[in-house]
Amino acid sequence: MAGHSPVYICCNDIYIDKNSIKAYFRTRDVLPVVLKEKQSYQVIPAGIIYAIAALSYIISVQMNGVNLAFVMSQLCVVISTLGGIVFLHEQKTKKGYIYTVIGLALIVAGAVLTSVF
């Protein structure tokens, strides 16, 4: 194999040469671009909210157990649906609103029955 650069074996038998690895890990090319993009900073509040939700779920699992904590965490569907209707002004027909309210009532009733029994 004279004249060839050393070959590194990656997972799943994928072969990558030394120059490809150097190009991939050249952080001076990648990092400043990411830090200069506006979108990188716009997603920070969403990440903080997600971190708070995940921490709340973990605390709920410790206090209430996995079964109850999971059921209660799935009630976010109710909040998301109502938020979409109120804040995002999602348009539905009268029949659509009736089905939505019935569905939300069934979700809440199921959560209450699961948590009580």
pLDDT digits (tens, 9 = 90+) for 55-89: 999 999 999 888 889 888 889 899 999 999 999 98
User: What is the number of domains present in the chain?
Assistant: 2
In a domain, 54, yes or no: yes
Domain co-membership, 51 together with 100: yes
49 and 34 housed in the same domain? no
Q: At 7, which helix (H) or strand (E)?
A: strand 7-9
pLDDT tens digit sequence for 10-45: 555 555 566 666 656 655 555 566 677 888 888 999
* Residue 98 CA from chain centroid, whole number: 29
Q: What is the pLDDT of residue 38?
A: 84
Does any domain span residue 1? no
**pLDDT surpassing 80 at residue 47:** yes
Q: Tell whether 86 is covered by a domain.
A: yes
Same domain, yes or no, for 15 and 50? no
- Look at residue 103 and tell me if it is in a domain: yes
pTM: predicted TM-score of the whole model, two decimal places? 0.57
Strand 7-9 with 15-17, pairing: antiparallel
- The reply to whether 67 falls in a domain is yes
Domain residues for the domain of 109 are: 44-116
Q: Is 2 part of a structural domain of the chain?
A: no
Same domain, 28 and 53: no
Distance, in Å, from the CA atom of 20 to the CA atom of 11, rounded to the nearest integer, reads: 15
